[in-house]
């Protein structure tokens, strides 16, 4: 039952969804943690961070277009944020806000999977996009020592020419017209890979928030 001691967590976005609410509230219930998670629609990240700090949130997620600007309103940066120059997860420890980039951590988790590593040995890697999420993915790729080609808005016409490659979509573009002999890693949350990436990312957030492992499989 929600009471005066219930800890608050949430996410700040221009277009909030319900998946985070479902994942985290189910996990809190599983572990018997007196906490709730809610998504919030915001326009001003400074006001949102101030509100979360004033209300004593345990932590919160940040979506585009706030992943870079949120850095200006926290107290400490994890190495993942310094590396990517973007943050998507903030943890509040007694009023001290520390920023992390769990998109970067999830991208590494996905790319080190044995089945993906095998494919990467024989196929070129293309990254679509140049936003905050793409920055996190590129940090993971560079740290792993992988070669890649980045495609953004100015070179999007090249997408149709890609053959026998791994294509990592870091954009909100759906129904990308790729040749069928490519392998697509799609960040969109309604796709198979997007759901898996989302759960990998959420597992890192949940550990930062609670010190516990998310009680769900990546294949859920």
Active-site residue list: 67
Measured distance CA(76)–CA(72) in Å, rounded:
10
Altogether, the residues listed in the chain come to a count of: 220
CA atoms within 13 A on the CB side of 49: 25
77-84 contact pairs (CB < 8 A, 24+): 80/104, 80/105, 80/139, 83/139, 83/143, 84/135, 84/136, 84/139
Q: Which residues contact 129 (CB under 8 A, 6 or more apart)?
A: 151, 152, 169, 170, 171
What's phi and psi for 112, nearest 5 deg? -90, 0
In sequence order, the 6+-apart residues with CB closer than 8 A to the CB of 211 are none
- Measured distance CA(132)–CA(6) in Å, rounded: 32
Spatial CA neighbour of 49 closest among 16, 89, 101, 18: 89
């Amino acid at each position: 039952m929600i009471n005066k001691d219930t800890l608050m967590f949430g996410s700040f976005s221009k277009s909030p969804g319900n998946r985070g609410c479902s994942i985290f509230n189910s996990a809190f219930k599983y572990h018997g943690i007196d906490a709730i998670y809610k998504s919030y629609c915001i326009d001003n990240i400074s006001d949102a961070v101030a509100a979360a700090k004033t209300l004593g949130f345990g932590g919160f997620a940040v979506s585009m277009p706030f992943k870079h600007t949120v850095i200006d309103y926290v107290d400490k940066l994890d190495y993942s944020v310094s590396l990517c120059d973007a943050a998507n997860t903030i943890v509040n420890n007694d009023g001290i806000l520390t920023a992390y980039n769990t998109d970067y951590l999830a991208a590494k988790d996905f790319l080190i999977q044995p089945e993906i590593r095998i494919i990467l040995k024989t196929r070129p890697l293309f990254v679509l996009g140049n936003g905050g999420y793409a920055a996190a993915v590129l940090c993971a790729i560079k740290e792993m020592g992988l070669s890649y080609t980045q495609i953004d808005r100015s070179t999007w016409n090249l997408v149709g020419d890609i053959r026998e490659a791994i294509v990592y979509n870091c954009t909100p573009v759906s129904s990308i017209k790729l040749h069928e002999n490519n392998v697509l890693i799609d960040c969109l949350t309604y796709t198979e890979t997007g759901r898996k990436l989302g759960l990998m990312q959420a597992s890192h957030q949940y550990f930062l928030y609670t010190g516990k492992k998310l009680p769900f499989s990546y294949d859920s």
